[in-house]
Structure 1
């Protein structure tokens, strides 16, 4: 049965007239421009190596975290969003276990692979999800927030909170450490990774409206050290209890 979910109407304004300015660019604007350049380079890397990437990680399975995530869904039949689904590996696990899911990713080539496997997927940005508020019972963001620095990750978490139902289940995994890591793929394209500590992730989740936060530093299923975090979208009762 195909998965159906309402998409937010996307309204684009006219191009307007370009304005010129002699004012100097602010440090914040320079940082934002640098990040967008790095993100574009990262997506280009995934698009150029989609088949290699899909084959390399096809058997990685965060089974214990996935079972915990699914057990905490508000309803067992609720729709799951695989935020940053890549070629659809985890969408396959959700399908196998009987949980309807839809995937979203910014890499068109990775989405092509996911579609070819029969998965329902949408092209989009984690910081501006094209879904109606309260659409999902759970969001699974496995190794997808790793390309976002602090402020952009906070934007993505705010969007996760918006599209989750009250009490909705959330799983996120990010690389553990400090600073920025630059990698080159076999074809010479760059990918950029932003590293986090567990206290940083707990704080970002709490500030974004999540409760029951459990963020632990653990060995990666494939490589490296990761922070695997489970949380729940705060509802009215949680807000009342906090007052």
Structure 2
């Protein structure tokens, strides 16, 4: 288990409590995502955490496959009666016996993926999404990468920061088209975020 996953594993309950309130920007993005997909659409969620986003998606009529790389999050989700899978999007099978997904939701989770590995993750996500399906991810805006200790997680976590142009170029080379990126979205600790949507080509 890498150090970032271990950090979440140690403080999973505290993280869930600290992120229980959904930011208005995330709610708006989820509602737009749900409206574009339509009721009954099947969504692969990467990084479900405590399940906050999945609950709203289900209220919007979507069918969500909850996944996380952190064992403690998967245990918490299952303890609340949800099906949840322990999945590393870089290495594990992402496919479903029900066929290709209509959309992929990865809110503030792929920011822990190393720069050189994100291209592989996005291509793997494209492989399990139907043509015309939607991708929505959010990443921290900035340059380089580094370790940070903040919020409810007591141990350091590794973050990779992105700029819009570099991210757009990478995504367009992994099977996704119609890339739309919003930048400069304020976070609760004065950080800046990128929100990206794309369509499976």
Using structure 1 for the length normalisation, give the TM-score. 0.75
Tell me the equivalent position of 1:51.
Answer: 13
**1:227 is aligned to 2:189:** no
* Among 55, 77, 82, the residue aligned to 1:114: 77
Tell me the equivalent position of 1:125.
Answer: 88
Tell me the equivalent position of 2:144.
Answer: 179
Tell me the equivalent position of 1:189.
Answer: 155
CA distance in 2, matches of 1:92, 1:123: 18
Which of 111-120 and 144-153 deviates more? 111-120
SS in 2 for 1:72: helix
Tell me the equivalent position of 1:34.
Answer: none
Asked whether the 8 Å contact 2:39–2:60 carries over to 1, the reply is no
5+ residue gaps, structure 1, are 1-38, 235-243
Q: CA deviation at 1:221?
A: 4.9
SS in 1 for 2:170: helix
Q: CA deviation at 1:181?
A: 2.4
* Among 132, 137, 142, the residue aligned to 1:167: 132
Aligned-residue CA RMSD (Å)? 1.8
5+ residue gaps, structure 2, are none
Using structure 2 for the length normalisation, give the TM-score. 0.90
SS in 1 for 2:132: strand
- Provide the aligned length of Structure 1 versus Structure 2: 195
Tell me the equivalent position of 1:211.
Answer: 177
Higher strand share: 2
CA distance in 2, matches of 1:217, 1:117: 35
CA distance in 2, matches of 1:167, 1:130: 21
Which of 130-139 and 200-209 deviates more? 130-139
Q: CA deviation at 1:119?
A: 2.3
Q: How does 1:21-36 map to 2 (within 5 A)?
A: none
Q: Residues 115-152 of structure 1, C-alpha deviation per residue, up to 9 Å, x if partnerless?
A: 22332211011113423375210000100111112221
SS in 2 for 1:182: strand
Q: How does 1:8-19 map to 2 (within 5 A)?
A: none
Over alpha carbons, which structure has the higher Rg? 1
